[in-house]
């Protein structure tokens, strides 16, 4: 019996739902958890995953159009990303070192103000040096900040490529994000050095840094497909994003510990997907917990990311034909 492509995708989606259902039903939130709250979370999780699987099966081709284009152009993307990184600092004496200077100074100033001048008032986790706690939170934030700003302005910066008829402009946002990744790799190395200086050496859990970096990469890419499309027609979006980023660094537990927040605010704060990323980086450096142990947070992050990616793809494809006329 021959199964059609659409039928195969539907069966694959339902198989994924059944697998998630088995995992969810075997999740245990601990003896202190409220049984009713635990049951409600499981029911909601199952319903959301089922809806997500059915939506994916229905609009499979729309979801995969841009990922396929990115894969087909992977060699060109890598070449343009390296060129983008090199030309950004071409002509300056210190070159790429300028990209490292501002984040390093920022970490140093936050450390001096919160840990030294305020007498330890900014401490995040007991028995963990504040400078390590702070650095582990700021490293993913710097990456998100730079990648989102650069990815948002990708179409405007490469307007001469947008106007080319045969060029796949869907690759432009990911070029800027990959260029930002080069700096991020350096700061991850700095984070490892800071951790080692305080006696936190790499363990098997440290490998999760790669997983959380991929999470952040895909999340910011999902956002950029929407923002880079809208900013072509609404240039004020750049200023709005800068303001939101200023708020975001305080709304995300980077300079403070989520465990110290009032309980009634914790669930609301966790709606921010970056909370999952920041806590993940810290867990990878000095924690002893795998990402899949917090199944509900992992599931929530990926559902939000996939939804944002779907929205971004839809907006990008809808406005794509008008980019050249406006730029």
Average pLDDT along the chain, 327 residues, taken 10 residues at a time: 49 53 53 57 64 62 73 86 78 64 74 65 65 87 92 88 79 90 88 86 90 94 93 91 90 83 79 91 86 80 86 88 80
Q: Give CA–CA dist 277/219, Å, rounded.
A: 10
| 111 & 214 share domain | yes
φ, ψ dihedrals at 210, nearest 5°: -65, -45
3-class SS of residue 31: coil
The domain in which residue 34 lies consists of 1-58
pTM of the model: 0.81
Q: Give CA–CA dist 121/115, Å, rounded.
A: 6
Helix (H) or strand (E) holding 84: helix 74-88
Residue 99: what pLDDT?
A: 66
DSSP state, 290? -
Helix (H) or strand (E) holding 294: none
Given 14, 30, 58, the domain boundary residue is: 58
Residue 42: what pLDDT?
A: 62
Contact 175, 85 (CB under 8 A): no
| 173 & 286 share domain | yes
Residue 214: what pLDDT?
A: 93
Alpha helices in 73-207 (DSSP H): 74-88, 97-111, 130-152, 154-157, 159-162, 172-197
| 181 & 40 share domain | no
| 69 & 204 share domain | yes
| 148 & 219 share domain | yes
Residue 298: what pLDDT?
A: 85
Given 58, 75, 91, the domain boundary residue is: 58
Residue 141: what pLDDT?
A: 93
Residue 220: what pLDDT?
A: 95
Domains in the chain, number: 2
Given 30, 58, 86, the domain boundary residue is: 58
Residue 32: what pLDDT?
A: 46
| 281 & 140 share domain | yes
Q: Give CA–CA dist 309/68, Å, rounded.
A: 14
| 76 & 36 share domain | no
Q: Count CA atoms closer than 13 A to 104's CA, side-chain side.
A: 12
Q: Give CA–CA dist 324/153, Å, rounded.
A: 15
Q: Give CA–CA dist 48/301, Å, rounded.
A: 13
Residue 243: what pLDDT?
A: 93
Residue 35: what pLDDT?
A: 62
């Amino acid at each position: 019996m021959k199964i059609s492509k659409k039928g195969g995708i539907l069966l694959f989606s339902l198989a994924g739902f059944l697998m998630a259902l088995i995992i969810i039903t075997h999740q245990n939130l601990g003896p202190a958890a409220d049984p009713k709250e635990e049951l409600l979370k499981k029911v909601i999780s199952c319903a959301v995953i089922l809806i997500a699987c059915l939506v994916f099966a229905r609009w499979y081709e729309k979801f995969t159009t841009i990922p396929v284009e990115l894969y087909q152009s992977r060699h060109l993307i890598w070449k343009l990303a390296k060129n983008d990184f090199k030309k950004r600092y071409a002509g300056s004496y210190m070159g790429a070192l300028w990209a490292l200077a501002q984040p390093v100074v920022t970490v140093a100033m936050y450390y001096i103000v919160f840990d030294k001048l305020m007498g330890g008032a900014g401490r995040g986790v007991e028995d963990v040096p504040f400078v390590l706690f702070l650095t582990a939170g700021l490293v993913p934030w710097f990456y998100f900040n730079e990648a989102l700003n650069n990815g948002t302005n990708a179409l405007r910066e490469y307007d001469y490529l947008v106007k080319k008829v045969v060029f796949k402009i869907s690759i432009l946002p990911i070029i800027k994000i990959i260029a930002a990744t080069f700096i991020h790799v350096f700061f991850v190395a700095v984070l490892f050095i800071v951790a080692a200086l305080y006696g936190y050496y790499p363990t098997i859990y440290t490998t999760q840094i790669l997983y959380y970096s991929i999470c952040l990469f895909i999340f910011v890419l999902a956002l950029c497909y929407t923002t880079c499309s809208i900013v072509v027609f609404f240039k004020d979006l750049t200023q709005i994003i800068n303001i939101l980023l200023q708020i975001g660094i305080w709304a995300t537990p980077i300079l403070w510990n989520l465990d110290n927040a009032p309980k009634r605010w914790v669930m609301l704060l966790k709606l921010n997907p970056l909370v999952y990323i920041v806590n993940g980086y810290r867990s990878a450096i000095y924690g002893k917990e795998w990402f899949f142990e917090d199944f509900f947070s992992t599931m929530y992050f990926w559902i939000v990311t996939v939804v944002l990616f779907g929205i971004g793809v839809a907006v990008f494809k809808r406005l794509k034909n008008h980019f050249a006329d406006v730029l």
